[in-house]
Structure 1
Amino acid sequence: MDLLLLILGFVCVIVGVFGSFLPFLPGLSSCWVGLLLLYLTKAVENNYWILGITLLITIIITVLDYVIPARGTKKFGGSSYGVWGTNIGLIVGIIAPIPFGVIIGPFVGAFVGEMIYDSKNHNRAIKAATGSLLGFLASSFINFLFCVIFLGIFLNIVWQNRFLLF
């Protein structure tokens, strides 16, 4: 049973690493589930500090995944229409079956929102949409970074308990 949990945990962590930049796969939350599965084995002693801290990081970064693109829009001069457009575009991009929808959605949403706000100022709309795109890329990088850290934690725990696991 321990070997099955170890394999499933490793698969979850790997899926999480790929999911940090492929939007159709779960990212950091999948990595955390992988750590949880590792700690459910009898060979690895439970460490509630690691599980709790990594869960807190997962929750914070998951919330930031939705906040950062909107903040990027605002930082690049976007109005509240652009911020709302970014958020709506992000939701549509996640749901829509188009390639790179999670990248295109917020960009187009911010652009459309800014065009509704001021239809004559195309430069402002493009600037706000660029801020949304940069915010998304920053969010993806942060997600990837923490997924790799979670992978390192997973591998370190497996290495420390290798004689009990194998």
Structure 2
Amino acid sequence: MTIVQPLARSANLALWDRLQRLPFGSWLFTRALCWKAPYFRTVHPLLRELRPGLCRVSAPNRRGVRNHLGTYHAIASCNMAELAGGMMTDATIPATHRWIPVGMNVEYKAKATTAVTAIARLDPIPEFGDDPTELIVPVDVLDADGKAFVTARITMHVSRKR
């Protein structure tokens, strides 16, 4: 197996870095992301931080994401986890590779009645070779007090681009 080192950053990470120099750059990036993947728009996310090995996304607790109990809906939490995990994966893998989520295990630990933040983190960052691999991405969805009310482990299939 040949080990591939990232020669170039992903297009998304390069765009993120460029837009960070502008006022409202994070907002612009998030709007573009939600244009490309419209389902994420349902939680009204805002990317706060993106770099290899880390993505942090926040969202308000608004009526459209509440369940019948008035708390942040479980599936909205999964949406936040997938957004953070996907963007972190995209920023982490070499530009010569691609990824797709193939599974997600989720634990609902508590109720949240506040705005939320999803944090996907890989430490250490693995090396990617020519052979396809399954990358497990841990994501915590936190309430405003920093308590993880949902944890997810997203399995990403990572392979070389054709």
TM-score by length of structure 1 reads 0.29
Name which one, 1 or 2, has greater alpha-carbon Rg.
1
Structure (1/2) with the larger helix percentage = 1
TM-score by length of structure 2 reads 0.29
Structure (1/2) with the larger strand percentage = 2
